[in-house]
Amino acid sequence: MRLCRFEPNRFGVIEGETVADVTELVLGSLPPLVYPVTAGDPVIAALPSLLPKLREAAAKAPRKPLAEVRLLSPVGMPGKIIGAPANYMKHVAEVAADKQINQGVVGKTIDDLGLFLKAGTSVVGPAEGIAIHFPDRRTDHEGELVAIIGKGGKNIAYENALDHVFGYTLGLDMTLRGAEDRSLRKSVDSYAVMGPWMVTADEIADPNDVRLWLDVNGEKRQDSSTSYMIFNTQKLIAYASRFYTLQPGDLIMTGTPEGVAPVVPGDTIALTVPEIGTLSIAVRA
């Protein structure tokens, strides 16, 4: 099943080239608001039990053409956006060859670097665009598969890790190049692009064997497969859960393959995974 958020904060089931508006069912399923607010994204927490009802509701719901809706990030309140640096060996090699990227640190992989966090305020969807806030510095695209945590946990076993995934989406880990800490440079507003929608986990038989490619203005820059990841999806989830308690709505960005390169205002980025679709977004000043 393909599920989306679209303006103004509506929820939809995508069938073919239409969106069935199921907002009332989704919002009506949420628990009463209490303080402190329950950790995690309440919509993502509710969705696993809602799936049968969503199918029924979609059959009767009002519809809009998919081309006419403005798509937002499919996850509205991610508690954590967890990044996986240097998780493809060919990307490690390209980092070593580019001083603007490596800043004097070469040859290290995710085994050495661990994980990092991106700020929740950096999340945008396709309709919102990527804003270049530091035009005097280089900003690169990094296309990635993203796992959406549906069931929380701590110290999750490798063999159980995929049981904690609700679904998948596409992500652009936009990166400002420089000497500052990685989390700062990757947490600029609009530098965590998610979309165009999420697919439930059953739509992807093996997240460690999907092809992904990225074009800028129609020119291919990245083309690889998640089969080349150093830490696969299960290992990323298990490893992250040793440090962080994972909660519904947390996003695990699985790392980028080789081919990262700068973008400037006026560019259009298109990231594709066939099992999900294409995330297309404009870069603006």
Mean local confidence (pLDDT), 108-126: 98
Q: Is the pLDDT of residue 202 over 90?
A: yes
8, 62: one domain: yes
Residue 16 lies in a domain: yes
141, 26: one domain: no
55, 111: one domain: no
The one-character DSSP state at 175 is E
Distance CA(256)–CA(143), nearest Å, equals 6
157, 225: one domain: yes
Q: How confident is the model at residue 255 (pLDDT cuts 50, 70, 90)?
A: very high
Q: Which two tokens stand for residue 36?
A: 């402190």
Q: Domain range spanning residue 256?
A: 81-284
Query: Each residue of 213-240: pLDDT tens digit?
Result: 999 999 999 999 999 999 999 999 999 9
Q: Is the pLDDT of residue 65 over 90?
A: yes
Q: Is the pLDDT of residue 33 over 90?
A: no
57, 104: one domain: no
Mean local confidence (pLDDT), 85-110: 97
- Give the percent of the chain with pLDDT over 90: 97
Distance CA(39)–CA(66), nearest Å, equals 32
Residue 76 lies in a domain: no
pTM: 0.98
Contact 229, 245 (CB under 8 A): no
45, 125: one domain: no
19, 104: one domain: no
Residue 172 lies in a domain: yes
Q: What CATH number does residue 89 fall under?
A: 3.90.850.10
Q: How many domains does the chain have?
A: 2
37, 138: one domain: no
254, 121: one domain: yes
Q: Is the pLDDT of residue 52 over 90?
A: yes
Domain boundary among 18, 39, 68: 68
142, 247: one domain: yes
Mean local confidence (pLDDT), 135-161: 99
Domain boundary among 68, 96, 122: 68
Q: How confident is the model at residue 39 (pLDDT cuts 50, 70, 90)?
A: confident
- Give the percent of the chain with pLDDT over 70: 100
Q: How confident is the model at residue 212 (pLDDT cuts 50, 70, 90)?
A: very high
* Amino acid 247: pLDDT: 98
Mean pLDDT over the full length of the chain: 98
Query: Each residue of 181-192: pLDDT tens digit?
Result: 999 999 999 999
Q: Is the pLDDT of residue 37 over 90?
A: no
Exposed, middle or buried: residue 151 (CB in 10 Å: 0-12, 13-18, 19+)? middle
140, 234: one domain: yes
139, 22: one domain: no
Domain boundary among 15, 41, 68: 68
3-class SS string, 23-82: HHHHHHCCCCCCCCCCCCCHHHHHHHHHHHHHHHHHHHCCEEEHHHCCECCCCCCCCCEE
Q: Is the pLDDT of residue 34 over 90?
A: no
